[in-house]
Amino acid sequence: MGIDATKSNDDSIVQSNELIDISAKELHKMIYRSDISVMEVVDIYLKRIEKFNPQLNAFISLLKKESIDKAIEIDNRIRKGDIDNILAGIPYVLKDLYCTKGILTSCGSKMLSNFIAPYDATIYEKLANAGAVLIGKANMDEFAMGSSNENSYYGPVANPWDLSKVPGGSSGGSAAVVSARLAPFSLGSDTGGSIRQPASFCGISGLKPTYGRVSRFGMTAFASSLDQCGPMAVSAEDIALILQTISGFDEKDSTSADIPVPDYCKNINDSIAGLKIGMPKEFFAEGLDPGVAKVIEQALQEFKKLGAIIKEVELPTTKLAIAAYYVIASAEASANLSRFDGIRYGYRCSEPKNLLDLYERTRWEGFGDEVKRRIMIGTYALSAGYYDAYYIKAQKIRRLIKNDFIDAFKEIDVIMGPVSPTTAFNIGEKSNDPVAMYLADIYTVPVSLAGLPGMSIPVGFSDGMPVGLQIVGNYFNEGKILNIAHQFQSITDWHLKIPSQFI
Partner 1 sequence: MSIKKQEILKVAHLARLNITTDRIEEYTENISNILDLMAQMNQINTDDVTPLSNPLDAVQRLRPDIVTEVNQRELYQRLAAQAEEGLYLVPRVIE
Q: How far is Cα 257 from Cα 452, in angstroms, rounded to an integer?
A: 13
Residues 208-247 that bind partner 1 (CB under 8 A): 210-212, 225-226
- 194 an active-site residue? yes
Q: Any contact of residue 392 with partner 1 (CB under 8 A)?
A: yes
Q: Any contact of residue 286 with partner 1 (CB under 8 A)?
A: no
Q: What are phi and psi of 499, to 5 degrees?
A: -60, 130
Residues 303-322 that bind partner 1 (CB under 8 A): 317, 319-320, 322
Nearest in space to 215 (alpha carbons), one of 243, 240, 237, 175 = 243
CA 492 from chain centre, in angstroms, equals 23
Single-letter residue type at 307: G
Q: Any contact of residue 372 with partner 1 (CB under 8 A)?
A: yes
Nearer to partner 1, 149 or 191 (CB): 191
Q: Any contact of residue 1 with partner 1 (CB under 8 A)?
A: no
Q: Any contact of residue 377 with partner 1 (CB under 8 A)?
A: yes
Query: Which run of H or of E encompasses 446?
Result: helix 445-450
Helix (H, G, I), strand (E, B) or coil at 311: strand
Q: Any contact of residue 399 with partner 1 (CB under 8 A)?
A: yes
Nearer to partner 1, 303 or 409 (CB): 409
Contact yes or no for 440/422 (Cβ under 8 A): yes
Residues comprising the chain, all counted? 503
Nearest in space to 441 (alpha carbons), one of 432, 428, 454 = 454
Minimum CB separation of residue 144 from partner 1 in Å reads 17
Burial letters 354-390, b for 16+ CB under 10 A, else e: eeeebbebbbeebbbebbbebbebbbbbbeeeeeeeb
Nearer to partner 1, 129 or 338 (CB): 338
Stretch of residues binding partner 1 (CB under 8 A), selected from 44-52, 85-93, 163-171, 433-441 = 433-441
Helix (H, G, I), strand (E, B) or coil at 79: helix
Contact yes or no for 475/218 (Cβ under 8 A): no
Q: Any contact of residue 52 with partner 1 (CB under 8 A)?
A: no
Q: Any contact of residue 428 with partner 1 (CB under 8 A)?
A: no
Minimum CB separation of residue 246 from partner 1 in Å reads 19
Q: Which candidate in 37, 147, 170, 420 is catalytic?
A: 170
Residues 339-368 that bind partner 1 (CB under 8 A): 341-346, 348, 352-361, 363-364, 367
- 170 an active-site residue? yes
Q: Any contact of residue 8 with partner 1 (CB under 8 A)?
A: no
Q: Any contact of residue 381 with partner 1 (CB under 8 A)?
A: yes
Burial letters 293-329, b for 16+ CB under 10 A, else e: bebbeebbebbeeeebebeebebebbebbbebbbbbb
Nearer to partner 1, 262 or 352 (CB): 352
Q: How far is Cα 104 from Cα 112, in angstroms, rounded to an integer?
A: 8
Q: Is the bond preceding residue 170 a cis peptide, omega within 30 degrees?
A: yes
Site string for partner 1, 134-173 (x = CB under 8 A): ----------------------------------------
Q: How far is Cα 318 from Cα 326, in angstroms, rounded to an integer?
A: 14
Minimum CB separation of residue 332 from partner 1 in Å reads 10
Residues 248-267 that bind partner 1 (CB under 8 A): 251, 254-255, 257-258
Minimum CB separation of residue 249 from partner 1 in Å reads 10
Q: Which candidate in 194, 247, 431, 448 is catalytic?
A: 194
Q: Any contact of residue 497 with partner 1 (CB under 8 A)?
A: no
Residues 99-128 that bind partner 1 (CB under 8 A): 115-116, 118
Query: Which run of H or of E encompasses 187?
Result: strand 185-190
CA dihedral in degrees (229, 231, 237, 238; nearest 10)? -130
- 95 an active-site residue? yes
Work out whether strand 205-208 and strand 454-462 pair parallel, antiparallel, or are unpaired. Answer: antiparallel
Nearer to partner 1, 50 or 407 (CB): 407
Say how many residues touch partner 1, by CB under 8 A. 71
Minimum CB separation of residue 142 from partner 1 in Å reads 15
Minimum CB separation of residue 345 from partner 1 in Å reads 4
Nearer to partner 1, 227 or 413 (CB): 227
Q: What is the DSSP string of 14-46?
A: S-HHHHTTS-HHHHHHHHHTTSS-HHHHHHHHH
Q: Any contact of residue 501 with partner 1 (CB under 8 A)?
A: no
| Neighbouring residues of 442: CB distance < 8 A, sequence distance ≥ 6 | 283, 287, 318, 321, 322, 421
Q: Any contact of residue 450 with partner 1 (CB under 8 A)?
A: yes
Q: Any contact of residue 387 with partner 1 (CB under 8 A)?
A: no
Q: Which candidate in 23, 25, 61, 95 is catalytic?
A: 95
Catalogue the active-site residues.
Answer: 95, 170, 194
